[in-house]
Amino acid sequence: MTRLTIRIDFGNGAALGPGKVRLLELVAETGSIRKAAVAMKMSYRKAWLLLKALKDAFGEPLVDASAGGKAGGGARLTPLGAFVVSRYRRLEVAATRAGRASISGLTRRIVPIPAKKTPRRRPRRL
């Protein structure tokens, strides 16, 4: 299946793309940075660094996290975090609509990748 992926490179050197947006969505869904990281098959440290990069880019946190303990802790999107996810997803939809004909034309020109041949093994002789 062909799909359009959007990456926004801001003038301050920051970038926003599908990985960071998905991380934000998973934090909102799971209520946990750790669980979001696990779902994306990345370390907690990497997830934390991505969220820090977003905080630095936008000038304020996109995730509000509280430490664990008796109360349990957790994480949730800030209003800015929810805004960023919403605007990014709206941009994806609009870009996909606008590029539908071009994407279709390009997709028709793609050559299928042949399946890899696996070497046949000889049966073991006993």
pLDDT digits (tens, 9 = 90+) for 25-66: 999 999 999 999 999 999 999 999 999 999 999 999 999 998
Structural domain that includes position 46: 8-108
Residue 122: pLDDT band with limits 50, 70, 90? confident
Q: What does pTM read for this prediction?
A: 0.82
> Is residue 78 in a domain?
yes
Number of domains in the chain: 1
Q: Is residue 57 in some structural domain?
A: yes
In a domain, residue 89? The reply is yes
Query: Is 81 a member of any domain?
Result: yes
The DSSP bridge partners found for residue 66 are: 74
- A 10 A CB-CB count for 56 gives 12
pLDDT in tens, 59-79: 999 999 987 666 667 999 999
Would you say residue 120 lies in a domain? no
Which amino acid is present at 73? G
